[in-house]
Structure 1
Amino acid sequence: MKRLLLVSCVVVLSACSMLRTKTEPVAVSPAQPVDTRLLDANGVPIERIPFRAGVSSVTVERLGKARDCNSNEGAGLVTPPGPVEVYRMVCSSGKVFMARCELRQCKAM
């Protein structure tokens, strides 16, 4: 009885291996890089400026807070450091507050 079971298993396995078809490898094209740049309405890429704190960041944050602009990030320097600097602060409401500081005297733009 054990031999019959063993022989039947061998027959089934050999039949299964005979039915298996060989598959040809499929050529896969390399993935195209995804363009993650933001574009404006005309299709021109929008430049992303990294956040940089400046000497007048705290002053601009106070100016923004006086004009109902609260931000989690704070005021970042947009221009190079110097006698005249421009700061940008994104408000929690979504609007943008900008200020120009000349020799640390800041005014809203």
Structure 2
Amino acid sequence: MQRLPVTMFLAALLGGCAMFHQPPPAPMPISAPVPVKPAGPVDADGTPIQTLPFRLGVSSATVEKLAKQQACMGGQGAALVTEQGPVEVYRMQCDNGKVFMARCEMRQCRQM
């Protein structure tokens, strides 16, 4: 009775297992790469546009008053573009689509 399992083992070992004698699977067809769209705004050429987070600065209210004098109103207000310090640059998006920018030195602001 014990010869049967040993005989089957030797037959499989000497004859080879059917699993190893199958032809390899056919390769998958290569498809054309799909262009990846950037996650955010892009310009006319398709180059991504960098967006900055809205940050309030010490002179935001002053820049908003300057913008109002130039008929620029709306949006979130004047956002600090540079790091805080003695010289700061602010940007404000107007309702009419224009952008108002101001440069402030030691809290003295003027339009750029």
The two structures share one fold, judged by TM-score above 0.5: yes
Secondary structure of the structure 1 residue equivalent to 2:100: strand
Residue 98 of structure 1: aligned partner = 101
TM-score by length of 2: 0.64
Secondary structure of the structure 1 residue equivalent to 2:68: helix
Residue 79 of structure 1: aligned partner = 82
Residue 13 of structure 1: aligned partner = none
Secondary structure of the structure 2 residue equivalent to 1:74: coil
Q: Check if 1:89 corresponds to 2:83.
A: no
Q: 1:68 aligns with which of 54, 71, 75?
A: 71
Query: Unmatched 5+ residue regions in structure 2?
Result: 1-35
User: Partners in 2 of 1:90 and 1:55 — Cα distance?
Assistant: 18
RMSD of aligned alpha carbons? 1.7
Secondary structure of the structure 1 residue equivalent to 2:91: strand
The structure with the largest alpha-carbon Rg is 2
Letter in 2 for 1:80: E
Residue 57 of structure 1: aligned partner = 60
- Percent identical residues: 58
User: Partners in 1 of 2:53 and 2:105 — Cα distance?
Assistant: 22
User: Partners in 1 of 2:51 and 2:82 — Cα distance?
Assistant: 13
Letter in 1 for 2:66: L
Q: Check if 1:46 corresponds to 2:49.
A: yes
Query: Unmatched 5+ residue regions in structure 1?
Result: 1-32
Letter in 1 for 2:107: R
Q: How many residues align?
A: 78
Letter in 1 for 2:56: A
Runs of 4+ in 1 over 3 A off after TM superposition: none
Residue 20 of structure 1: aligned partner = none
Shift of 1:34: 5.6
TM-score by length of 1: 0.66
